[in-house]
Structure 1
Amino acid sequence: MGEGDLAPYKSIARQQKAWICFLDESGQSLRPPRGRTWARRGQTPIVHVTGKGSGRVSLAGLVCVKPGQRTRLVYRAIAYHGRKGEKKGFGIPELQALVRSAHHLLRGPIVVVWDNLSAHVGPTMRTFIDAHAEWLTVFRLPAYAPELNPAEGVWANLKGKLINLAPRSLDQCRLTGYVYQGAERKAGSPWLRACPLPRR
């Protein structure tokens, strides 16, 4: 963390001896992300996938950094099978639980940095933040600035590993397991430990 251009959240984290936690949400459906590969000229590889629209694994996680400490990835996943009454993804209660879990695991104050998603800025979340002001400080990123959130890079890198995965269902081909395994590898990867702070 350079002294010359400390962003406000960096200054607050230094004063509080807090972790800086970049939070972001993502997800993966039964259709794998697009990717590129090598092939013989005129022989384009084709990956057959299901056309089903139901089935999705939603992810939310925090990339947590602090000088002198190993970078941590604290995350949760929700599998949606398309069943009636089943949660489709992360709502305000799930995000609040994730933030509390990060505080518990890191054993100290945290400074959360996230985007302007409606679940992040509404009155319910504001009340939660105010109620835990002794250990929780929140900053919002500028609009349309994913490059400032290291968590975006974690999910993009994870999806790149799923390009050749073509599951028929969440359970049959273990999409949930693949996503969990990928996130676990990211949590201990040298790339994540060396993840730099955005300089703005």
Structure 2
Amino acid sequence: MRDQEAWLCFADESGQVLRPPKARTWSRCGHTPRVTVRGAGSGRISLAGVVCRRPGRPTRLIFRMLVHHGRKGERKGFREKDFAALMDAAHQQLGGPLVLVWDNYTHHVDAAMRELIEARSWLTVFRFPSYTPDLNPAEGVWAHLKNSLGNLAPCSLDELAALARTRLKRMQYQPGLLDGFIAETGIIPAPP
């Protein structure tokens, strides 16, 4: 990786619905806090993110979001071409070859994805062993995001998408936080 001046990238996907994740809060003794949630609708937001690290450069987060309102014919999640577009965007923004490490999700290992990977000479792909989310720093991004969305009750998917986008953009400007997600996995020691 150092010889190639390549970026080491960790990718993963996540999703969120209108029902907020469970979180802790404070209230007066004897008064259980309640968050009113609008339960209508079957939509969700799908997220794909890449945590990118290269020695001597700040760690970067690149993400994409799809909002699925539950309408007929609307995409429900990321497909092979979406992942390829995310990798193309990462390559363009980072300006160098990428070494991608991700899980064995169906859309990552099928023939269409292998074909898209082979068409990109600047991309080298490795896979995590099965059932090892604790090795992927992108999981830390999703955990941090969901923790920050705890106890919030957005009224619409568009409002939820705006909240998630704001929090992810905030993380993009905190390379130290992203370094912490990488260090937490134990794969690479934190930079000095």
Question: Which TM-score applies when normalising by structure 2?
Answer: 0.91
Distance in structure 2 (CA, Å) of the matches to 1:69 and 1:31 = 37
Residue 151 (structure 1) aligned to one of 134, 138, 161: 138
Partner residue in 2 for 1:44: 32
1:142 pairs with 2:116: no
For the Cα contact (< 8 Å) 2:22–2:151, is it kept in 1? no
Aligned residues: 185
Residue 59 (structure 1) aligned to one of 47, 69, 74: 47
For the Cα contact (< 8 Å) 1:61–1:73, is it kept in 2? yes
Identity %: 54
For the Cα contact (< 8 Å) 2:100–2:125, is it kept in 1? yes
For the Cα contact (< 8 Å) 1:22–1:151, is it kept in 2? yes
Residue 8 (structure 2) aligned to one of 20, 33, 49: 20
Over the aligned positions, Cα root-mean-square deviation in angstroms equals 1.4
Within 5 Å, give how 1:77-116 maps onto structure 2.
77-116=65-104
5+ residue gaps, structure 1, are 1-12
5+ residue gaps, structure 2, are 188-192
Distance in structure 2 (CA, Å) of the matches to 1:35 and 1:194 = 22
CA shift at 1:193, angstroms?
Answer: 4.3
Deviations 1:17-60 (Å, cap 9, x if unpaired)? Answer: 20001000011111100111223333221111122241211110
Question: Which TM-score applies when normalising by structure 1?
Answer: 0.87
What amino acid maps onto 1:94 in structure 2?
D
